Amino acid sequence: MDIRDRILIIEDDRSIRNFIRAILEANHYDVLMAEEGTQAYSLITSRCPDLVILDLGLPDMDGMKILKKVREWSAMPILVVSARTHEKDKVEALDLGADDYITKPFGASELLARIRTALRHYRAIGQLPDGRMGGTLVAGGLTIDYDKHRVYVDGADVNLTQNEFKLVGLLGRYAGKVLTYDYLIREIWGPNMDKNNRILRVNMANIRRKLEKNPAQPQYIFTEVGVGYRMLDPD
Ligand code: CA
Query: What distance in angstroms lies between residue 143's CA and the mean position of ligand 1's atoms?
Result: 42
What distance in Å separates the CA atoms of residue 212 and residue 154, rounded to the nearest whole number? 11
Query: What distance in angstroms lies between residue 90's CA and the mean position of ligand 1's atoms?
Result: 15
Query: What distance in angstroms lies between residue 141's CA and the mean position of ligand 1's atoms?
Result: 48
Span 20-32, pLDDT tens digits: 999 999 999 999 9
SS3 118: helix
Residue with the larger pLDDT of the pair 99 and 8: 8
Q: CA angle, 77 as apex, 139 and 2 as ends, to 5°?
A: 60
197 pLDDT exceeds 50? yes
Query: What distance in angstroms lies between residue 105's CA and the mean position of ligand 1's atoms?
Result: 12
What distance in Å separates the CA atoms of residue 56 and residue 61, rounded to the nearest whole number? 8
What distance in Å separates the CA atoms of residue 105 and residue 118, rounded to the nearest whole number? 19
Span 120-131, pLDDT tens digits: 777 765 444 444
Mean pLDDT of 128-142: 67
Span 33-51, pLDDT tens digits: 999 999 999 999 999 899 9
What distance in Å separates the CA atoms of residue 186 and residue 183, rounded to the nearest whole number? 5
- Residues with Cβ within 8 Å of residue 59, at least 6 apart in sequence: 12, 35, 36
144 pLDDT exceeds 70? yes
Query: What distance in angstroms lies between residue 167's CA and the mean position of ligand 1's atoms?
Result: 34
The mean pLDDT of the chain is 88
- Per-residue pLDDT, 125: 54
- Per-residue pLDDT, 136: 84
- Per-residue pLDDT, 130: 43
**Amino acid present at 205:** A
User: Are 50 and 6 in contact, with CB atoms under 8 Å apart?
Assistant: yes
Query: What distance in angstroms lies between residue 57's CA and the mean position of ligand 1's atoms?
Result: 4
174 pLDDT exceeds 60? yes
What distance in Å separates the CA atoms of residue 131 and residue 140, rounded to the nearest whole number? 24
212 pLDDT exceeds 50? yes
What distance in Å separates the CA atoms of residue 165 and residue 204, rounded to the nearest whole number? 11
224 pLDDT exceeds 60? yes
- pTM of the model as a whole: 0.72
What distance in Å separates the CA atoms of residue 102 and residue 110, rounded to the nearest whole number? 9
204 pLDDT exceeds 70? yes
User: Are 7 and 53 in contact, with CB atoms under 8 Å apart?
Assistant: yes
Query: What distance in angstroms lies between residue 12's CA and the mean position of ligand 1's atoms?
Result: 5
Residue with the larger pLDDT of the pair 39 and 88: 39
Query: What distance in angstroms lies between residue 13's CA and the mean position of ligand 1's atoms?
Result: 6
Using pLDDT thresholds of 50, 70 and 90, give the confidence band for residue 133: very low
69 pLDDT exceeds 60? yes
59 pLDDT exceeds 50? yes
Query: What distance in angstroms lies between residue 9's CA and the mean position of ligand 1's atoms?
Result: 12
SS3 143: strand
